[in-house]
Chains A and B, each alone.
Chain A
Amino acid sequence: MASSRDDFVIAIRSAFLKKSYQQKFSLLTLIFSSLIVIILGSFNFKAIQYVKIGINEVIYRSSHIASLPENYFKDLNIKIDEHLSLYDQYKKNEIELNKLKEKKLSNDFLILENNKLRELINETIRSEDVYAKVLVDKDSPYLKSIVLNKGSRDSVKIGMAIVDKSYLVGKIIEVNYTNSRALLLSDLNSKIPVLLEPIDIHAVLSGTGKNYGVIEYTKDEYKQKLTSDEIIVYTSGYGGLFKPGLPVGKIITNNLNKNNEVNFFSDFRQLDYVKIVSYEIGGGY
C-alpha cells in the first residue's frame, strides 16, 4: 500500500518537476507562469495594457495571414452553395424586388416626412462612419467575434456599433492601436436594447451562440401581440449606445418559431468589410 503511494508521488514529482530532454522549462514553472499571466491580465495597469495591445497587434496580423488558406476554402464553400441554389434564389428575388419597389415609394415619403418633423423639433442625428476590413473572422463555438483593421489610431472607441450595409451586426469590445475586436450580436454575451415594429414594444435582444437571437426582458403580454406574420427588430437607441432605427433582424411568427427567434438580416459568416458607426444626437429640447 505504502509502495503504491510512493510510486504515485514519484510519478507526480517526475511529471511536474523533471525537465525532459530538449525541454527548457519544467511543467510546474510554466503552469505557474500561465497563472501569473492570467492574474496580471486582470489588472488594469497601463504597462500591462500596453503589453496586451502589443501582443494583440502581432497575433491578429499573423492570424489574418495564417487564415488565408482556410478563408479561401470557406469562400469556395459559400460560392458552391450559392451556385447550387441560383435558380431558386432568382425566383425569390424577383418576387421580393416587386414587393420592395412598392414599399420604396411609401418609404421615400416617410423619410421626407421624418426629416421635416425632426427639423420642427430642432433635432439632428449626426453620424460618422469608418470603413473597416475584417481581419480575423473566427466562428468559434465559444465566442462570436471579429477582428477589424481599424483601432484607436482611427478614433475607434469601445461601444461603437458595427454595421454591415445598413444592418447592425455587433459592437466594439476591445480597441488596440491599429485594430479592434467586435462582439457579434449572435454571441451569448451580447445584449442590446431593441424596438419591435409594428407592435411598438421595447425589449432586449440576446445572442444565443447560434445564428439567431432571442427576445428577452419583456412582459409576457408581448407574445399575445405577435399577431402580424413578420416583426422587424430595430435598435431602440436606449442607453445611448446605438443609433436608433438600425435594422437588426426579423421575427417570423409561425408554428415552427415558437421561441420567437430573431433571424439576423446580415450573414455573419460572410463579413468582409463593415462600417464602424458613431453617432451624436444634437439640438432638441
Chain B
Amino acid sequence: MKTTFEEKDGKYVMHFEGRLDTAASVQTEQEMKVLHNCEGHDIILDCAQLDYISSSGLRLFLALLKIAKAKGSKVCVAGMNDNLRQVFAMTGFTHLFEFV
C-alpha cells in the first residue's frame, strides 16, 4: 500500500495505490494525518489505483470526513472502481462522500 500527498489548485490530494486492508491501515493512518490540517482546503482522495478497501480503510475515510467537516472542508473520492463503489454502497456509506 502506498500513499502520495500533494497540494493541487488549493486542494489537498492524497493518492492511494494498492490494497487498503487492516495490515496497511496503521501506516496509512499516519500518512493521512497530513490531511488533518485542512482548514481552507478541500480534500480529494484519489482512489484510481486503489484495488481494495477493508473496514479499517473505511474507518480511516470516515474519521477523516469527521475532521474535515468540522473544519469546513469537503472530502471527494475520485476514480474509485466499481468494486470499491460496491463496498461503499453495501455498507450504506455512499451518501457521506462526494464521488467524482
Partners in one complex: no
Give residues in B with beta carbon < 8 Å to A: none
Residues of A at under 8 Å CB distance from B? Answer: none
